[in-house]
Structure 1
Amino acid sequence: MQNRFIRGTFFLTAATLISKVLGFIYIIPFTALVGTQGFALYGYAYGPYTILLSISTIGLPLAVSKFVAKYNELGNYRAGLTLLKYGICLMILSGGISFVLLYVLAPYLAEAVVGANESSGNKVEDVQSVIRLVSFALMIIPAMSIFRGYFQGSQSMGPSAMSTVIEQVVRIAFILVGAYLIIHVFEGTVANAVGAAVFAAFAGGAAAFCVLLFSFIKRRGVIKRQRDESPDNENLPIFSIIKELIGYAIPFVITGLAIPVYQNIDIFTINELFVSAGYTLGEAETINSVMRMSLILVMVPLSLATAFGMSLIPEITSSFTRGKAKEVNSQISQSMLIMMFFTLPAGIGLSILAKPVYAMIFGTGNSPELGGFILQWYAPAAIVLALFTLTAAIMQGIDQQKQLIAGIAIGVLVKILLNLTLVGSLEVAGPIIATYLGFSVSILFNVYRIKKGVGFKMAPFLHSLREVALLVIVMGLAVWGVKALVELWLPASFGDFYGSVIISIISIIAGLLVYLGGGVRIRSVRNLFISIKNDSFSA
């Protein structure tokens, strides 16, 4: 059981990380093909699409995962299959409604974005076209997500992991190949190329759905046997299923909105706060923009915690339903240790290399000094955000949904109050510190409720973490030393951009070698990865 849990977590985490990294890398060649104006047009389509996708799914995929895990553990496999059938129908309906809504509203949204009389940028007709093209994805992505939730709830992470990677690979291939062919072969417009790029969301979703459907058909014999032989094959009323599912879904929606809410607090308060502190509006907008760009880099290691949460919820729900408090405690400790093993060095290393990494990714023309300073402060937030995401997943796994919402609300209130008070004294670092403290309050609240709910003991976890923390310090010193040496050795003729690329790559490689080399010597970490390896070969 424990080996399967670790392996499932590892596979889903690896798949999510690969997907996030691919989604980050493709921006560079795509922007080179369509230019900054084309990339802006691409963003106009994805803004309303993302909102309607969240509304159409209303947190159901993770709620399905929790529901299926619970009833499978109770011996009622029929309940999960019933939910899958009605859930897909519900998602097709809600996705269809969202598609129609976005398609019909496209002209009005386009006008709101660029203005009816604006002629210096993208045309209203082009914005309307790309919004309508991306809306087709709403007809398939919600239903595909329900399938993922079913597999994760059945503690079968392979299909979810595979579909995640396939979706991203197909989407990116469609984007890059489509844009290249339209511009360089068919001599089409940038707007047409962006139209093909946004339609890639539908292509990727369709590919992922096919992978999940194939996996379901391949396993239908086992699934049917589980259903027929399950000790409790009670047919639950569909209204009872929906009521329970919505009860699970609401906290998932609120938890998923936590990080965007923090972002929007900054977006809508920073300009006014910095202007009040003596900055010009232009300077305030630059700070606002650079903070959002820095957060893009912070979100890459955070994807690890997101994947951990997705795989952790059904496992903990299963153990909690059986009353196995010791097993729940072990799963929590293992998950937190693996997560910290990856996110702790990522956050610290990114902070040390903030200036060269920022210049390497965003170029030397996008406020590299300010960007390096902000990223240096913001990078360790990956650790705090990861802890929040993981503890939130644990809270939902042990039926502490109401308490979780309360903890999030308290943290958001702290963030708002500190934003208002810290900018005057700490200036640029003020909103970042407010984010740290807001999420820290929520994390402490979550840990308190987890300890109370399952008797979780921090001492064994902190003992194992001590070794990882020591290794991170050694790695940090190595990265800092290599960075300083390369800066001394590097000729000025390389320029700021190429110098930043060389410094970043050499320092990152040195950090990886030191960290991974030392990691295999930590007994607790080595045991976890031996478990993954042994279970993979025995599966």
Structure 2
Amino acid sequence: MESKSSSLMRNTLILTMATFISKFLGFIYVIPFTSLVGTQGFALYMYAYRPYTIMLSIATAGLPLAVSKFVSKYNQLGDYHTGRRLMKTSLIIMSITGFVAFLILYNLSPLLASFLIGKDDQSGNSISDVIMVMRTVSFALIIVPILSISRGFFQGYNSMEPTGVSQVIEQIVRIIWILVGGFIVVRLLDKNVSVAAGVATFGAFSGALAGLFVIYYYWKKQRSHINNLYNQSTIREKIPLGSMYKELFAYAIPFVLVGLAIPFYQLIDTFMVNKLYMSIGYTLKKSETINSVLGLTQTLVLIPVSLATALSLSLIPSITRLYTANEIDPLRKQVTQTFQMLFFVTLPAVVGLSVLSKSAYITFFGIHNAYEIGSIVLRWYSPVALLFAMFSVTAAMLQGIDKQRLVIVGLGIGVIFKVIFNFLLVSPFHELGPVFATYIGYTISVVYNLWVIKKYLNYNYTSVIKRILFMFILVIIMGAVAGGISYILNFLNVDLRIKSVVIVLICGLIGAYLYLVLSMKTGLIKLVFGKEPALLKKIVFKSPQRQHSK
């Protein structure tokens, strides 16, 4: 039998790899796409995807993760019957809400476009272009909710592979559609970037359809096993649908709000930035450049956050089982392990991005996409990844112990401060104003979540803080070495983009290797993961244990 801890590690690994691959692909395609359409075309693409993400979350109403928690809870009690009934009825509801969300976004697009662009400045994208891309992406809302609810059902059975594989396939198909479609429109048909952005936004529909086929494959593959569990159900009493959905929506509302946290912060910037910068004298074109740069840096910064997303998905069913079984000590150990894993992976990535911000921005987005502004924004925006990751994980923990309402309180306070400081900080700090406002909003939410965890789990942060501080020391050493090498390599007399690529590759590899060596030599990896992963032993060649044995 697989132990609970090894099961958590396996599920976390599956979702971490799948989410990382998905996020990495979702970032990599931006490089050729922005070279095709530029910052103005990317801004147009972003105008469509920000409202789409919000409408998608509303359409699913947080049900995928809520279903995961609901099914996991009743499966733990031996009642496989209730989870199956929930799945069947939820598919019907998702079909309806998805279609309603499609109609809402399709018909609201003229109003949203007018707010985004305005009618006085014609130096940037037009209102008609924004309407077109919004209406194109809205079709995906018909199918994505069904895909999401199906993933939640499998996660409730502690089966993370269907979610992981379908995420990767969905992303691959979507990216192929975006890049091939954009290339055909711009290079072969010689159309403008607005048409390319419109074609690209339809990739959300094609990718979701591919993901749905993957989920159906796994359903056929696992159907007999799930049916066997269903037939062995120890409880056959039918819970009234009203009671069942009352409990489900009690989970769902906090899930949707937590899931909206990062997209909502992005939406706030997308819809506020143009107006704010134009109010202090910027043209629409220059305001859209800053808007696009913020979107590009967010895409890059969110890659390290993929671990937190994966941890959140695997944490909720696992914590729910431990909390339902009143196994508080194993629950506290899992919280500690999660924090350690999160900082171990995210912290060096954040510091590396910040130290190499100029070279990283030029490497991925080129010298024609406002790299002067972009490198500054990336340097300051990179640490926000830690706050994003911490919020995702702490919110998942609180949801797992039935403190959903308290998560909403912390998030709400943070969002209010984000909006207020967007107004206050744009004038004195210009392009960094929205970044600092995000720091303030997310810090408030994270600190609040940590306080709630301490209160309701009687959790002591002392040991985990000591290990995180030790990680900071190793990361500072890594960052100093990478920064020193970067300074020397900047004297190379070659093309700026080639030089940037060389700096990122050399400094990134040396920095990562140094961090792993220091982590293994000091025993940090063993403390974080419980053992030294075999793969890392091969990378570092010799661990302290091997040397000692010799």
Q: Same fold (TM over 0.5)?
A: yes
Given that 1:175 and 1:196 are in contact with CA atoms closer than 8 Å, whether structure 2 keeps it comes out as: yes
In the superposition, relative to structure 1, how do residues 406 and 164 fare at CA in structure 2: closer, same or farther (>3 Å)? same
- Counterpart residue number, 1:496: 496
| SS of structure 2 residue aligned to 1:484 | helix
Post-superposition CA distance 1:176-227 (Å, at most 9, x none) = 3344456666788866655543332222111111111211221112111212
Preserved CA contact (<8 Å) 2:377 2:432? yes
Distance of 1:115 and 1:142 partners within structure 2:
32
Structure 2 counterpart of 1:49: 52
Q: How does 1:209-288 map to 2 (within 5 A)?
A: 209-263=212-266, 280-282=281-283
Question: What's the secondary structure of 1:281's corresponding residue?
Answer: coil
Aligned to 1:173: 176
Q: 2-side partners of 1:267 and 1:194: how far apart?
A: 17
**Aligned partner of residue 305 in structure 2, secondary structure:** helix
TM-score, length basis structure 2: 0.85
Residues 434-443 or 260-269, more deviating: 260-269
Tell me how far apart the structure 2 counterparts of residues 419 and 43 of structure 1 sit (CA, whole Å): 19
CA drift of 1:56 comes to 1.2
1:75, 1:233 within 8 Å by CA — same for their partners in 2? no
Distance (whole Å) between structure 2 residues aligned to residue 67 and residue 189 of structure 1: 48
Report the CA distance between 1:453 and its aligned residue. Answer: 1.5
Residue of structure 1 aligned with 2:468, choices 449, 462, 465? 465
State the AA in 2 paired with 1:325. Answer: I
**Pairwise mapping of residues 23-422 of structure 1 onto structure 2 (< 5 A)?**
23-33=26-36, 39=42, 42-103=45-106, 130-181=133-184, 194-263=197-266, 280-282=281-283, 290-416=293-419, 418=421
The one-letter amino acid paired with 1:206 is L
Residue identity in the other structure for 1:451: K
Contact persistence 1:46–1:131 (CA under 8 A): yes
Letter in 2 for 1:512: A
Q: For 1:395, what is the secondary structure of its paired residue?
A: helix
The answer to which of 164-173 and 356-365 deviates more is 356-365
**1:7–1:532 CA contact under 8 A, matched in 2:** no
| Partner of residue 518, structure 1 | 518
CA RMSD of aligned residues (A): 3.5
Tell me the CA shift for residue 526 of structure 1: 3.7
Change (3 A) 1:228 1:238: same
Please tell me whether the aligned partners of residues 3 and 531 of structure 1 are also in contact (alpha carbons under 8 angstroms): no
- C-alpha distance 466-44 of structure 1, shift in aligned 2 (>3 A): closer
- State which drifts further: 157-166 or 71-80: 71-80
Go from structure 1 to structure 2 and tell me whether the alpha carbon gap of 1:438 and 1:198 turns closer, same or farther (over 3 Å shift).
Answer: closer
Identity %: 44
* Contact 1:354 1:375 (8 Å CA) reproduced: yes
Deviates most, 132-141 or 214-223: 132-141
> 1:103 offset after TM fit, Å?
4.7
Q: Report the Cα distance in structure 1 between the residues aligned to 2:266 and 2:260, rounded to whole angstroms.
A: 10
8 Å contact 2:47–2:270 — kept in the other structure? no
Please list every run of 5 or more consecutive structure 1 residues that lacks an aligned counterpart in the other structure. Answer: 535-539
Unmatched runs of 5 consecutive residues or more in structure 2: 536-550
Normalised TM-score (structure 1):
0.86
* 1:285 Cα offset (Å): 7.2
Amino acid at match of 1:234: E
Out of 13, 18, 34, the residue aligned to residue 10 of structure 1 is: 13
Residue identity matched to 1:506: I
Distance 2:195 2:530 in 1: 47
The equivalent residue for 1:477 is 480
Does the C-alpha gap of structure 1 residues 200 and 78 become closer, same or farther in structure 2, counting only changes over 3 Å?
same
Q: Counterparts of 1:61 and 1:466 in 2: how far apart (Å)?
A: 36
Shift of 1:281: 3.3
Partner of 1:507: 507
Deviations 1:447-483 (A, max 9, x none): 1211221222223323433442232122112211211
Q: Distance in 2 between matches of 1:427 and 1:122?
A: 22
Partner deviation per Cα, 1:15-55 (whole Å, 9 max, x = no partner): 11111111111122234445666555544543443333222
**What residue number does 1:537 align with?**
none
